[in-house]
Amino acid sequence: MSFPQFILASASPARRQLLQAIGIEPMVQPSEFDEASIAIADPTSLVQALATGKAKVVAQTITLGSEPILVLGCDSVLVLDGEVHGKPGTEAEAIARWQSMRGHVGELLTGHALIDVNRDVTLVRCQSTRVHFADASDPEIRAYVATGEPMQCAGCFALDGRGGALIERIEGCHSNVIGLSLPLLRQMSGELGYDLAAVWLR
């Protein structure tokens, strides 16, 4: 079975690049889902609900045809000392966040919602990766925040960017920290009956 048309319900360049790296050229359709409408304390349930909301908003806009279509929604948060963090709102917040993260270990959670639009089937999963932060100095933190990079990231860092220099090591899925777990995507696609390796045989 050939691999379906793939729609990414996210404007994230990092997620698109991850998909492109494994041979999927996604159609990018950012969701207008209202994230503020979801108030859930449990971080795993939170990212799963947000990912599902994003994917469903996009799936509802699709006109069905004979070709199968998959829609992927994702959302990430960082959990540090039991506190859930999304993207920092200001540079001051980003600096304070880094000062609390340095030398500690956080948990990066990414919710994945994969919808088989034609069959109206939705799979929802969460991937977790432990991140060990370097004991960065105040000048390093201020310089990093000044680049603007951490302002766009749920964990206040980009592993595949300058922030990679401030991460000592990770435990678990590498791509999950960047925005989506490629191994998990392969598993979820397989559960829906689609072999990811078919992309490589086109």
- Torsion angles phi and psi, residue 126, rounded to 5: -135, 135
What is the Rg, in whole angstroms, of the alpha carbon atoms belonging to the chain? 17
129 strand-pairing partners: 108
34 is catalytic: no
Q: List Cα–Cα distances, 9 to 51, 68, 185, in angstroms.
A: 9, 16, 14
DSSP SS3 for 24: coil
**107 contacts: CB under 8 Å, gap ≥ 6:** 78, 79, 80, 128, 129, 130, 131
Q: Which of 75, 81, 116, 120 is catalytic?
A: 75
Catalytic residue list: 75
